Amino acid sequence: MSQTLDSKLVAMLEVVYPAVDCAFVAEQLIDAMALAPDAEAPPAHQNHWDPSDIVLITYADTVQQPDEKPLVTLKRFLDDCLQDVISAVHILPFFPYSSDDGFSVMDYLAVNESHGGWEDIEAIAADYKLMADLVINHMSARSRWFENFRKRVGPGKDYFFEGNPKDDLSMVVRPRTSPLLTPVQTDDGERHVWCTFSEDQVDLNFANPEVLIEFARIIHYYLERGVRIFRLDAVAFLWKEPGTPCIHLQQTHELIKILRLLIEHHTPDAVVITETNVPNRENLTYFGNANEAHAIYNFSLPPLLINTLVTGNCRHLKTWLMSMPPAQMGTTYLNFIASHDGVGLRPTDGLLDEDEKQRLINTMESFGGKVSYRRTADGRDQPYEMNIALWDALKGTAKGGADHWQLQRFLCAHTIMLALEGIPAFYIHSLLATENDHARVEHTGRFRSINRGQWQLDAVEAALADPLSHHSKAFTELKRLIAIRRAQPAFHPNATQFTLHLGLQLFGFWRQSMRREQSIFCIHNISDEVQQVALTDINLIGTDQWTDLLSGMAVDDLAGVLTLKPYQSVWLSN
């Protein structure tokens, strides 16, 4: 007999809160989510995706129109330009905020008035799968909860994590160079609050079950507004224990299981995605046993793919791909090569050596990029991420500098991403091939602003209508590639994948559909020189008819040679 929801919750909660009345907490969580205590779980290992799923990542106000709320403009842009291109849209935090372009939330239940209202969010959710951030690790120092913390009243009095400067914090893993503890004056004296990211982003105290219950109410509200994909922002840092690294602790994993359990009982096809910008082996743990994240961000892909294309050598990318376990049914990877943040370097730990990382950093800086740092346990500052627009990151090579292959290199990167196991996600500035925004960096003083620019709608439309602009060339070809990808059963996010060994200048892998009716050999020249591969090295089945899906070219001589121009890709399908 299967366990009921309340009994499952109690068992999970006892791991996190051994000294608390977990039956009462479970009752509160079930009530917050408007669930039945004896509700049965949805079937396990269900895939909530297929080859047609493509995600767009954007801020609410990336595309603007004078005298119109940006969420209204965004809906028009989606409908006019992307309706047949994407299936889901991730709107980065659209709540009132005080810093970090939305990730310092002041009110989880409100839409930033300058962006629009909940009716605009619901309008987008009606036509696209809506992905929203659950900014769960921290909250704005200007929020009502934190003001109540200062006044020592509820709700908020015990909602934020406090540290002691005398504690042993030497092992704490940091993503920033700012102080971990921030002193604040409260109505009963000075207290030190824990700030993983900045003094304006105060970490929440999940050791208090009331905080978990509050987030259950928030999640329920989002589900009722149409959110179907939850991105758990910075979730790896959720649980703190002085004397430990305070990252990936067991209580964090248990809390993710609890949130997923609640979400899927309310909406069986809702999806939980964890955002954990950490080394690859650590990232993979967030699948749990197919009971934590439905999907994890493939954080090693962006730096390894960029490194591959600027060095003309796919050794590290190929080694990484061979090491990646197939995702269990009901789980998958979220593949991306650019986002609102920088290109993380921690995910290359154990994959690139320090000299290779430095060469990559030097190349990105020569293409106009910036570098952000984090502080290690021994007090040293280490490169944390490279801040650069993907269009500019691929403008040349490490050896030769900028060249005339920028567009081809840029398209090659996306062709690889589109074919890999997992769901592809396009950052809006990559879909539009936007350049580095140095003026915005100068205005904000933040390196991440280099890839967080804004477009006026008429400027976007003009750029995309101009056949000579690189924006139009990139966008038109990306739309074509996406349309091809979406029609292939072998590109199901969970279809079989094997790495091919074709040398260091050709990056290849094989995909086979889940019913085995289609195979696709994906081969990419990642160098600036013509490359050839003998078709006998690919082992195409002689009884099948093979065609390159990208060019329409039929492959008639299976004993012949395939010639690829610099950065050319082929998807050979039967």
Return binding residues: 100, 138, 231-233, 340-341, 448
Give the DSSP letter string of 21-54. Answer: -HHHHHHHHHHHTT--TTPPPPPSS-----TT--
Say how far apart CA 355 and CA 361 lie, in whole Å.
10
Tokens of 552: 């329409």
Chain-centroid distance, C-alpha 545:
37
What's the CA gap between 181 and 521, in Å, rounded?
Answer: 52
403 counts as catalytic: no
Residue 193's identity, in one-letter code, is V
Say whether 300 sits in a helix, a strand or coil. coil
Residue whose tokens read 């966008």: 475
Question: Is the bond leading into 155 cis (omega within 30 degrees of zero)?
Answer: yes
What is the 8-class DSSP label of residue 353?
-
* Marked catalytic residue, from 61, 133, 233, 437: 233
The answer to whether the CB of 426 falls within 8 A of the CB of 57 is yes
Question: What gap in Å lies between CA 510 and CA 499, rounded to an integer?
Answer: 6
Residues 6+ positions from 33 with CB-CB distance below 8 Å: 216, 219, 220, 262, 265, 266
* CB neighbourhood size of 470 (10 A): 15
Cα pseudo-dihedral 395, 398, 404, 405, rounded to 10? -80
Residue type, 534: A
Annotated binding site for substrate: 100, 138, 231-233, 340-341, 448
Residues belonging to the active site: 233
